[in-house]
Structure 1
């Protein structure tokens, strides 16, 4: 795919309206007008239906992460700040300013690594957008389910467009180690547009909001390498910054109008000028990328999922037992994948990383750990990522038998990469092998709304916040029929833990 240097934009792009001579800020202006003008009835029904799945999945992830490390600290902090009571903190019910509620709730949504992912873009498009949209809707009052859905659909689509336009390489000679995170950037940039749409800003105000968001644009991958809780907290910070950006724009504060494509805009500053214009705006309003999102079956980095599914298949189909396994080889097909989930490389270092206050984040980002769990248990469950589960003798022993091999070629520039797992049983010279390309939840192996509802019930069972089954069923039903909801505050009111164990 051709990429374009954006200083200045001048290339012809027929799919973007034959813009041979764009005026400065034209891409941003088109995005802002699209956000301002698009209504619920303009959005394809299939896109709306799938986005309901993403809404339910994200809210379930937030409920599940209610008492996760880091999430409780953020919730305690924003509650202590006080301020105008505008929006609820999920699980707790404390009313705080909208940007503070979004900060807490988006942190929860990312905390257990069970939120959705756009694999080609290597980003989490929904974990900031749904919580911030809910907080702004509750603060505004009287925002209908249709209005909420409009904003969320547009926001997810824009997040994917911004995140995929640089066309990142993950294999071959042009691969470069990533240091920045698209996830947090697009949470601010697209999130500001979502917040501004719910606030009913005019197109110029929306363009200002994105420019103000760009002035706060931050987020990196160092926390992943170190197992720091800021992996999840950055999700909350991006949601909070998005709302603040829209609020400032509403008050007349101006932002850069060429925040994406300007000489010092997002793509030039952070992506070396790489941007595929057709991806960014070429079919804006005619195609929505929402259905490209993968819903996770496992609570870990999405790069790990195909190998985890392959390991599960071996246990289920071959009837192997953990004690019979002599060694395991996991084949890794591109450098992006290897760098993110296969380090540290030493087996003892990998096992040691499961202990201590950083152990959970390391586990969420560890291919050897998750495959070890799948081989020991025949499944991957949330409780294995807690301290007792991730440091158990059986899992640590299995991790010591796992080898990760980087054997991809220069053409393996594709995500998701296939999960290829070879298991050698004691005394065997040839392995039992399983390969999985598309796990359940990928667009090629999609989860239905009922599948996501089942996942929602499982996630909320795990949560330390106690939600009755009746309350959870009502949340599912409300999101399924969100277009009929007269006020989004009705949904927000349901996202508070019950005080008694009735209906369990």
Structure 2
């Protein structure tokens, strides 16, 4: 028997009872901006090699179906579409995040939007229902990962960046399939059981190339959607999977659990406020250094005359993010020297990890001018709080220009982006598909989707 006052069921009851009117207007706008950001990232990745390999695999292994896909190919069954769309959105490492006080805790957009999109195609989904499902999924996802943050010692042993998002994908897909609170509780139990293992420390850090699916959004999205499909087929999962000494937090390898974080002020204090958006298509831990450098760069009339760039950051950044000869797109997304060179040569951001960039002599030669040095203050922030602050120095022939310290990356609560900046990013990401003026109109239509009766029809311009 499922008890309606169980910890997990309190969350699913919140999700099922949530109405558009109960969501603050600012948060509805925020979720719409995150939705278009995710779509833009997915479409911009169509030429990415990992996405293309994943698309070939998906269409050979998953059944054809009605669920839409962002790679421009044919629709798939829901689980295959969830997997492929999450690969697409996360492929360029340009997708959004969830950050509290500078600590990043996943890329929810790739997983949760993929879960929600899997419901489109087989049925008509209204904009209001879609937005409400995304808000519920984002809120529960944020509370789950906050409730189980490990100690610094355990983090160094085991951690998963996005694996927990299987639960958020299940919330989104389950709501759009009409699940009630008890049914959704079963879906979360199944999703937790299907969640991929936490694997941050096995990304091939010491033996490149890095793994292709660096954050495992795709298996998490598939797990969430598959869990709902299993529930709809009558399969029983664990009850109240979030609670107790053997709950989901323990499955994910954490040594700490704060159950109050899951339910305190639910519906009045929103964790969705901590959702963040990226300005660079790289690992988030590099963004403070990139912003410090870019603010110096825009003041230089002749950036090609830069002789040296010194980045002062954590020891972790100095050890693992300085590859100047990336072998694959993931290597490029974790290379601070390459990203700095891309800024110097004004490479369009959706191309930073492309084959053309990784084989450009000019870019690779400039990357060798970048050195990353550990500074005690920044290292302590990373070790104790997982906060990647940084600053740079730019060495010219006759002077050294000092970049300011960036404590929080752009796109966070502490360093927010304007709505126009987010829309401009979306337009740039659609540049291979439509003219800027058409992309701007499309963005405004999507931001007004709450009044739309059929999201699938609205998304048609980017599906062909």
**TM-score (ref. length: structure 2):** 0.89
Query: 1:191–1:243: 8 Å Cα contact kept in structure 2?
Result: yes
Tell me the residue number matched to 2:119: 136
Deviates most, 229-238 or 361-370: 229-238
Per-residue deviation, residues 368-402 of structure 1 (Å, max 9, x unmatched): 3223333x336773333222323333333333333
TM-aligned CA deviation for residue 56 of structure 1 = 0.4
Tell me by how many angstroms 1:115 deviates: 0.5
User: Aligned equivalents of 2:50 and 2:194: distance in 1?
Assistant: 22
**Correspondence for 1:56:** 36
- Measured at CA, do residues 234 and 315 of structure 1 come closer, stay the same or move farther in structure 2, by a change above 3 Å? same
Q: Unpaired runs of 5+ in structure 2?
A: none
Note the C-alpha offset of 1:474. 4.8
Paired residues for 1:230-269 under 5 Å = 230-231=212-213, 234-269=216-251
SS in 2 for 1:443: coil
Check if 1:351 corresponds to 2:351: no
1:328 Cα offset (Å): 2.8
Structure 1 contact 351–399 (Cα < 8 Å) conserved: yes
Q: Secondary structure at the match of 2:83?
A: helix
Of 326, 340, 360, 1:392 maps to 360
Alignment map for 1:315-394 (pairs within 5 Å): 315-319=297-301, 321-325=303-307, 327-333=308-314, 338-339=315-316, 341-344=317-320, 350-352=323-325, 354=326, 356=327, 358=328, 360-374=329-343, 376-377=344-345, 381-394=349-362
Unaligned runs of 5+ in 1: 1-22, 498-504
Aligned length: 452
1:28 aligns with 2:8: yes
Question: Any idea what SS the aligned residue of 1:138 has?
Answer: coil
Contact 1:260 1:266 in 2 (8 A): yes
1:481 corresponds to which residue? 448
| 1:144-201 deviation line (CA, Å, top 9, x unaligned) | 111110110111111111112233456xxx4742643231x22211211211111111
Q: 1:31 to 1:302 in 2, by over 3 A?
A: same
Matched, 1:147 2:129: yes
Measured at CA, do residues 324 and 86 of structure 1 come closer, stay the same or move farther in structure 2, by a change above 3 Å? closer
What is aligned with 1:196? 174
User: For the residues of structure 1 that align with 2:67 and 2:437, how far apart are their CA atoms?
Assistant: 23
Residue pair 1:87, 1:138 contacting (<8 A) in 2 also: yes
**For residues 289 and 40 of structure 1, do their structure 2 counterparts lie closer, same or farther at Cα, with a shift above 3 Å needed?**
same
**Residue pair 1:84, 1:97 contacting (<8 A) in 2 also:** yes
For residues 388 and 246 of structure 1, what CA distance do their matches in structure 2 show? 41
Counterpart of 1:418 (choices 382, 385, 389) is: 389
Which residue in 2 is equivalent to 1:495? Answer: 462
Trace 1:106-255 onto structure 2 (pairs within 5 A). Answer: 106-119=86-99, 120-139=103-122, 141-168=123-150, 174=153, 176-177=155-156, 179-183=158-162, 185-219=163-197, 220-221=199-200, 222-223=202-203, 225=205, 226-228=208-210, 230-231=212-213, 234-255=216-237
With over 3 angstroms needed to count, the CA separation of the structure-2 counterparts of 1:324 and 1:77, relative to structure 1, is closer
CA RMSD of aligned residues (A): 2.7
The residue aligned with 1:6 is none
| Secondary structure at 1:371 match in 2 | helix
**CA displacement 1:411-447 (0-9 Å, x = unmatched):** 564464322112233465x653332234442223323
> Which one has a bigger Cα radius of gyration?
1
Given that 1:25 and 1:261 are in contact with CA atoms closer than 8 Å, whether structure 2 keeps it comes out as: no
Gap change, CA 1:450 and 1:324, over 3 Å in 2: closer
The aligned counterpart of 1:19 is: none
